[in-house]
Amino acid sequence: MKYFIDQLQQKIEEKNSRICVGLDPHLELLPENVLAPELLNDLESNQKEIAASVLKFNQNLIDAISDMTAVVKPQMAFYEKLGVPGMDCLWQTMSYAKSKKLLILLDGKRNDIGSTAKAYAESYLEQKNIAADSITINPYLGKDGVLPFLENKEKGAFALLRTSNPSAVDLQDLKLDDGRKVYQAVGAFLQEVGSNYIGECGYSNLAAVVGATYPKELKEIRAQLKSVFFLIPGFGAQGGGAADIKAGFDKNGRGAVVNSSRGINFAYRKEEYNNFGAENYAKAARAAAEKMKNEINDVLNQ
Ligand SMILES: O=c1ccn([C@@H]2O[C@H](COP(=O)(O)O)[C@@H](O)[C@H]2O)c(=O)[nH]1
């Protein structure tokens, strides 16, 4: 039995890639040759057709980037939005990614009281036919809400720690009586809970989400949490760049993956990749993923 975090670290090293490719099908950004825009005028009536287009889009993206990333991160919101066909599309996307030997980090930010958290873990990490390898969770309910996601050591959880959005400061930076900020207390909590789930690589199956858009906090959190692996979202579309995420890695270039969703999924819309044309969106995505992978490796080698 191999710990989730060891599987992830091993795949990162095999591919020499520290990127995580988000699968976030923003419908209005899909190429017209994949999704006829008029279908969006009546989303509910056209859920089935739209979900079929999204699946084709995802499969082409996965084909284009599977040798270049260890892990893909489908964002559940975009699939839930398409009702039952959307959930079927999510499951088929995960199944396709699995067939290409990619790890799956399902971004759903689930959690609840212990018994309900257990049901979430069973739903998304333990189904027999297809399940994710890891899931994003909200740690706000405390330990009994987190432990069910760690029961199976082959699976992992990524808890929100310091998120990438502008309003992250509203609650996460509040000061506690002991002088720490809320996110610092959450970090210490994650390290403590995760200490019983540490793999051979020295990191724990309980990982954390820390945004690329807050490089100062990322550096401070990396220094504080030696055994916590990071998912770093916010690269590209949210403004984060390679220089911002460097401090999230340890001195050996381990301990984190950096996510980009729109920046890769919809690279074909950027001037830089205009020459590919909308019909070659997957080739544009590959070029963007390769650029991101190289930029991160370069900055870590400096
Ligand atoms: O703090 C967080 C936590 C999660 N996310 C998610 O990551 C992707 C980012 O998408 P981009 O298109 O690369 O901006 C998206 O699914 C978010 O829900 C995050 O951005 N920040």
Strand partners, 110: 137
Domain segments of the chain as ranges: 4-301
Binding-site residues, ligand 1, Cβ < 6 A: 22, 24, 75, 107, 163-164, 209, 211, 233-234, 236-238, 259-263
Over range 195-200, report the average pLDDT.
Answer: 98
Residue in the structure block whose two tokens are 């819309």: 269
CATH topology (fold) of 4-301: TIM Barrel (3.20.20)
ipTM above 0.90, yes or no: yes
- The answer to whether 109 is a known catalytic residue is yes
- Ligand 1 atom 16: residue of nearest CA: 75
- Residue 188's pLDDT band (boundaries 50, 70, 90)? very high
- Ligand 1 atom 1: residue of nearest CA: 163
Choosing from 20, 23, 24 the residue with most ligand 1 atoms within 8 A of its CB, the one to mutate for a pocket test is: 24
Per-residue model confidence as pLDDT tens digits over 241-294: 999 999 999 999 999 999 999 999 999 999 999 899 999 999 999 999 999 999
**Exactly one of 56, 109, 270, 283 is catalytic; which is it?**
109
What number does the ligand 1 atom closest to the CA of 259 have?
A: 13
What number does the ligand 1 atom closest to the CA of 260 have?
A: 13
For residue 118, report the distance from its CA to the centre of ligand 1, in Å: 25
pLDDT the model gives residue 1? 86
